[in-house]
Structure 1
Amino acid sequence: MARTSSAAAAHIGSRISETRKTRSMSVDELAVASRIDSSNIRGYEAGRGLTSVHSLVRIAEALKVDPGSLLEGVTSEMFTNER
């Protein structure tokens, strides 16, 4: 998980969390279904890290949603310059 402080990470994490709760899934259930460690899922949902595209697709598949739905509302301005 890439550590970040961007608003994009927080936004995507919020979308993952909302979708997971709508599907009545626990973090552990999502972790098993997506084959991603539950600590990483918790980090994504808290906005502490930005998920890779591969992980985002796996999470979306586990949630049975289009990956784009987890990116809805993300803009380039949400990313901070971390160099």
Structure 2
Amino acid sequence: MARTASAAAAYIGARISAARKARSMTADQLAVASRIDSSNIRGYEAGRSLMNVHSLVRIAEALEVDAGELLQGVIAEMFVQER
């Protein structure tokens, strides 16, 4: 079973991935545009890790979306880590 940091990490990662694909960008292109290592981008999109606010804003700017759009639908209970 794939390990996720939390339901929030998986949800936000999926939103980043969808926004990136809607713009016909590769993960490597998003990495360059956001100045975040491509392995981190892949980890975020897979839900294996949750980025900090600074990285979220950099990703949103690279995708030309509001950071809030990537967070839309996130609720506090999603941050409880699964064991």
TM-score (norm 1): 0.91
**Total equivalences in the alignment:** 80
Aligned sequence identity (%)? 75
Name the structure where strand makes up a greater proportion of residues. 1
Unpaired runs of 5+ in structure 2? none
Backbone CA RMSD of aligned residues: 1.6
3-state DSSP class of the match of 1:50?
Answer: coil
Amino acid across the alignment from 1:26:
T
Do residues 26 (structure 1) and 36 (structure 2) align? no
Equivalence map 1:3-82=2 (5 Å): 5-80=5-80
Query: Tell me, which stretches of 5 or more residues in structure 1 are unaligned?
Result: none
2: distance between equivalents of 1:16 and 1:77?
Answer: 20
Runs (4+) of structure 1 moved beyond 4 Å?
none
Contact residue 5 and residue 81 of structure 2 kept, 8 A: no
TM-score of the superposed pair, with normalisation by structure 2: 0.91
